Amino acid sequence: GSYAYSTISSPLQHLKNITVYGSGLMGAGISQVAAQKGYAVTMVDLDEKVLDRSINIIKASLHRVAKKQFEDNEIKQKELIDFTLSNIKTSTNSSESSKDADMIIEAIIEDIYQKQQLFGSLDEITPTKTIFVTTTSSLPIKEIAKVTKRVDRFAGLHFFNPVPQMKLVEVVRTGEINDETYETLMEFVKNLDKTPVACKDTPGFIVNRLLVPYLLEAIRLVDRGVADPRDVDMAMKSGAGMPMGPFELCDFIGLDTLKSIVDGWRKSGNIDPHIVAPTKMLDDHVKEGKLGRKTREGFFSY
């Protein structure tokens, strides 16, 4: 095949095979952007059906990317799509997919026990050189890493939705990470044409630590009857230049995801209790299964 899109540079020579666990929206997006750059990606999930759905998500997104990159050149568009898809394998067999991995990226459900169990078992079957990465947005990296014997080769990479579009990746360092791992991850992120920022292992890292209190305050403002969600969204888009209003963004992120971040912070006791006080509107929506865009109903209907 053509390697026209492959830009793996020398500091990353040893980083070729990437195994991504969890093929939800995050896992699919990360697999896509890595495969676009020529990494050999294996996407692992428990069930073939879920993997098929992820490949379809990737195909749809790739069409947008290819169209944008090669406006009137259908041949080039097809080349990029074929090149990327040829770099992605799917598998339901964990040990087979991991024994040759240079890096494991975990993007499974936000549950500390499941993440610990996964990394604990991967620690036994992957080579010592393999770097472990979690994409958690709400759990302490240190708590996940401690089940392995490679806390120095363990970090967080926090991507944003939609992964192929958003430029930022937070590179989250624990106190134990070694320089080589940290530098490899910074280079890896740049190699994906994204912007890395370094951040300590703290609740919410940078973006969510600022964004989530803002979203909660928007919900409280509506709860207090100050304005309705549509007007709040209009205000923040037209008055503060946000691409999406806070309610639209809540629905985009997923109200269950947002709630799990807030609940986690509250439990940790590390954040001002006023900031993480429960909001009735959010809790009620989640109870009713109105989780946002993915269920076609959240603060708005889709």
Q: Which of 257, 276, 285, 286 binds ligand 3HC (CB under 6 A)?
A: 257
Q: Which of 105, 249, 255, 276 binds ligand 3HC (CB under 6 A)?
A: 249
Shortest distance in whole angstroms from residue 256 CB to ligand 3HC? 11
**Of 25, 18, 33, which Cα lies nearest the Cα of 54?**
25
Q: Strand pairing of 131-134 and 154-158?
A: parallel
Site pattern 215..244 for ligand 3HC (x: CB under 6 A): ----------------------------xx
- Residue 249 CA to residue 292 CA, distance in Å, equals 9
Q: Under the criterion CB under 6 A, does residue 162 sit at the interface with ligand 3HC?
A: yes
Q: Under the criterion CB under 6 A, does residue 208 sit at the interface with ligand 3HC?
A: yes
Taken as a whole, the chain contains a residue count of 302
Shortest distance in whole angstroms from residue 198 CB to ligand 3HC? 17
Q: Report the DSSP beta bridge partners of residue 158.
A: 170
Q: Under the criterion CB under 6 A, does residue 260 sit at the interface with ligand 3HC?
A: no
Q: Report the DSSP beta bridge partners of residue 195.
A: 168
Which residue, chain included where needed, has tokens 């624990």?
Answer: 174
Q: Which of 21, 83, 132, 160 binds ligand 3HC (CB under 6 A)?
A: 160
- Residue 108 CA to residue 32 CA, distance in Å, equals 16
- Residue 162 CA to residue 168 CA, distance in Å, equals 11
Q: Which of 65, 141, 222, 255 binds ligand 3HC (CB under 6 A)?
A: 65
Of 5-13, 122-130, 161-169, 281-289: span binding ligand 3HC (CB under 6 A): 161-169
Shortest distance in whole angstroms from residue 124 CB to ligand 3HC? 29
Active site residue 124: no
Q: Which of 14, 59, 64, 167 binds ligand 3HC (CB under 6 A)?
A: 64
Shortest distance in whole angstroms from residue 50 CB to ligand 3HC? 18
- Residue 87 CA to residue 42 CA, distance in Å, equals 8
Question: From the CB of residue 124, how many other CB atoms can be counted at a distance below 10 Å?
Answer: 9
The residue with its CB nearest to ligand 3HC is 137
- Residue 107 CA to residue 242 CA, distance in Å, equals 27
Using CB under 6 A, count the residues that bind ligand 3HC: 17
98, two tokens: 């991991």
Question: Can you point out the beta strands (E) in 119-214?
Answer: 131-134, 154-158, 168-173, 195-200
Q: Which residues are catalytic?
A: 137, 158, 170, 208
- Note the residues at the interface with ligand 3HC (CB under 6 A): 61, 64-65, 68, 137, 160-162, 164-166, 208, 243-244, 249, 253, 257
